[in-house]
Structure 1
Amino acid sequence: MTAHTGLTPAVLKYKAPDPLVLEFEVQPDRAGFAEPKKSALFAAASKVDDLTPWIGTQLHGVQLSQLTDAQKDDLALLVAERGVVFFKDQDLTLDGQYELTKHYGVQDRDPNQHDPKHVTILGRDNDRGYANFGQDFHNDHSFELNPPAYTILRMVKAPPTGGDTIFTSQVALFDKLSPTYQKLLEPLHGVHSSEVSIPPRAILPLSSLDNLMVDRLTNIFSQASYINSINGGGIAFRPPIRTHPITHLKSLFYNPTFTLHIAELKEAESAHLLSFLREHMHSADDLTVRWRWEAGSVAFWDNRVVAHRAVPGGYDKRLREGKRTGVFGERPIFDAERGVTWGERFAGAGVGVGEGEEGGRGEGMKRGRSGIWTRNTSIKRWMRMVMRSKRISQGRVTRVTQ
């Protein structure tokens, strides 16, 4: 276990190099400017693969460095619908990645980031140890007032095997809960913090901890909390369900790495609920996509509705290096009136998230001038989905899946 050095004079004298980032209103989501069929983007692709029914699409024959503004907007909509979009053999440079990121908003800066343009992602050992956060599921910076929205990771070098990343749809995770459990979560708020890790009771069976171990860990976490507060660590109250501003789909907003407890619950109640959510996330093999990296490959995901984790170990960590950029998103909200579950929207359609008509790709999310999904368009969409489902059963529509 990694030990903390305590409150040394150096810690007490520490001054953050950057001013405190306050909540701000982000620019309109670029997905709201996309053409619903995403025709410009798909016209540039030689092939479109949906890697799973719920999450993950790979675009072939597209160079991110060559996208027009209209294609970039289409890509934002596709990412919002499919969670994560993958590319291979990209010629994108670091400066090019920085310029692409700026199209989507103000760039978020990681607390450990030294270069203002990116975060460097390196390989990880297979120690499964304390404070090795990337190997557990997480949404980046969920403790921030404006946690990241769109995120881009470009792999500079990758080992022959190992170092994969797993992405899980939190839209699907929420949809798979019973209606009763969904309602249970609605009024609650998770406490997200940049402390070193979540309390032991939230991640381990209660019977596995004796009182001495609890006292020792509590002392460690108390020190960590204060040290991180000196270093600009934040605490934020987040709804465990959030509503996507473009698709209006409800998603789970649970982060095993940063969610300390549930504000409205007692300690034991909170521990059991968080333990269930973690188990729910880790058992969701049917709701995930696993991406095997190559040098020059890129993953573009929506950090608001997708959790991810790096698969640790089994390779030379010196062979894995990536550059990550992301943009600030809106403050997470739960909209009980406009928000719908995936099942409510696509009930009876028998199709995956983001599917349209015309061969499984196409129409995307219908919106009005403001870029907002309306109930009327939702009903029309549902009717089209039912008709498309009938055509699928008759063998008249084909799509590429893996």
Structure 2
Amino acid sequence: NIFLSYLDNPKAEILTGVQERDAILGSSDSIVSSLPNINLGGKVLLAENSQDNNLLSFDTEPGISNRILSRNMSNVVFTVKVPEDGLYQPLLERYHLEDFVVSVNKSLELEIDGKPTEWGVSNLSDSYVRFTPIALSKGTHKIELKLENNNLLPDGNFERGVTFTRGDSARDGGVHTIESIGNEKFLSLTSSSKQNAVATWQVLPFDPMANYYIEVRYKQIYGSNARVSVSQTGNNVVNRSQLETMPNYPEWRVFSFFYTPTQVKSRMDVRLQAAAVNDPLGTKILYDDIKVQKVFLNRLLLVENSKQVWQAPEKIEFKKKSPVLYEGDVSGVKGPHFIIFAENYSPLWEITIYDKDGMELTGSYPHFTANLFANAWLLEDGPDEYRFKIYYKPQQLFWAGFIISSFVVIISFLVLIIYKIGSLLKNRKPFKK
């Protein structure tokens, strides 16, 4: 089957939504859009994940505006642009769904454009949960999924008192107290002029393959800025460390950021700090509601089946003659079909078709990109059996140039030899008896 992608910048993730022998073509490719009946091909749509977008944009946005806000990590909004009305099968990536308590045994409850709905499960695999097809109209749709994204520091509101470790180095000391105003409890860290005040939590469970969101409320009373750090260690080696310094602010303020671990076996620790300063009073910071949550990065694909099937030939065999030349045989052709060549696309790759007796067949074979990187040609007419040759044109020009250059060198060398012989004969003295 042939599927069309409608992304301005296609991503490799869409390839996972089709079968091994299927192909994905770019709908914006002018050559692809001119192919006959290509509008009857299927469609593969990759929805934008709101949490993934937040993570990707975090380091690219200037200033601290994306750090002084609170994000709702207990829901994810998928945004998808549907090119035309149709039935689309949703595919939700299955990786670690249970970490977010998303149950997909029989169905999945969610909202589409603000309206509650339920998707029935049609198939489960290690990679995806496939749901029964749903009707979607042309336009942009928002699909919202509720998550139970637990705080990995469940006592981060300090209602149970001290659940952290006080410092972890010789320079750490200071005063750690749990204070309260009314029914609200919070952590007070006060450093001295020589010792930091640090509260440390180990994140459990920790998955180095995941990404994390850290959020905390703080209030600076006096001294240096509030600080939060995240470190990843293993075998007495610091794999990755990240320090965030918060703006000076005398009222309660939210601060948040993302953390991407190094993918090695290790542990993760989060530290709230009141830094030592050259002042007898030191630094005093109030902290509350610290949370660490995983980022939900699972993909959502929507697939519309093809309305026309381009039958692949029964048998395709090829041999690599050189890095720039491939030859093959095709049999069992049942109509228009595609030849896909898994080398990085270049318009300089060319294909020549021969009949089974080796006679070249003239024809026009549109050349375009398939599966985001490969070369593809459409063969509309042709015999049931044929041979083909795929070659890189610059290499042929190179060999032609090499042969011509060699011929010129040889001719020049022969001319030089003839000239030398002629000169010797001309200047030879007559023989005297």
What TM-score do the two structures reach when normalised by structure 2?
A: 0.21
Higher helix share: 1
State the structure with bigger RCO (CA 8 A, min sep 6), 1 or 2. Answer: 1
Structure number with larger C-alpha Rg: 2
Higher strand share: 2
